[in-house]
Amino acid sequence: MVHKCTQDRGQFLNLSKKSLLIVSAVECSSMATYIIEPSSSGPAERLAEVLQDLGHRLVFIRPNEGDAIPADASDIDALVIMGGAGSAGSDEGWIASAKELVRTLDAAAMPVLGICLGAQIVAHALGGEVGSVEAGYQFGLADIALTPAGRDDPLFAGLGWTHVQMHHHGEAITTLPDGAKSLAKSGDTAVQAFAKGLRTYGFQFHPECTRQRLTSWCSTEASFMDQAGLTLDAFERQLAQANGGFADYERNSSRLLERVALLLMPVDRRFAGTSGDLRH
CATH number of the domain where residue 78 is located: 3.40.50.880
Number of structural domains in the chain: 1
Is residue 276 domain-resident?
A: no
Residue 49 has pLDDT above 50, yes or no: yes
Is residue 277 domain-resident?
A: no
Is residue 279 domain-resident?
A: no
Is residue 1 domain-resident?
A: no
Half-sphere exposure of 194 (CA within 13 A, CB side): 27
Is residue 25 domain-resident?
A: yes
pLDDT at 178: 97
Is residue 68 domain-resident?
A: yes
Q: Compute the mean pLDDT over every residue in the chain, rounded to the nearest whole number.
A: 87
Tell me the whole-structure pTM to 2 decimals.
Answer: 0.87
pLDDT at 269: 62
Residue closest to 39 by CA, chosen among 250, 209, 256, 260: 209
Query: Is the CB of residue 194 less than 8 Å from the CB of residue 119?
Result: yes
pLDDT at 270: 57
For residue 163, name the pLDDT band (cuts at 50, 70, 90): very high
* Residues taking part in catalysis: 116, 206, 208
Residue 58 contacts by C-beta under 8 Å, 6 or more apart in sequence? 5, 21, 22, 23, 32, 33, 34, 35, 48, 51, 52
Range of the domain at 21: 7-270
Which has more confidence, 32 or 275?
A: 32
Query: Is the CB of residue 252 less than 8 Å from the CB of residue 164?
Result: yes
Residue 265 contacts by C-beta under 8 Å, 6 or more apart in sequence? 33, 51, 56, 77, 78, 111, 113
Is residue 169 domain-resident?
A: yes
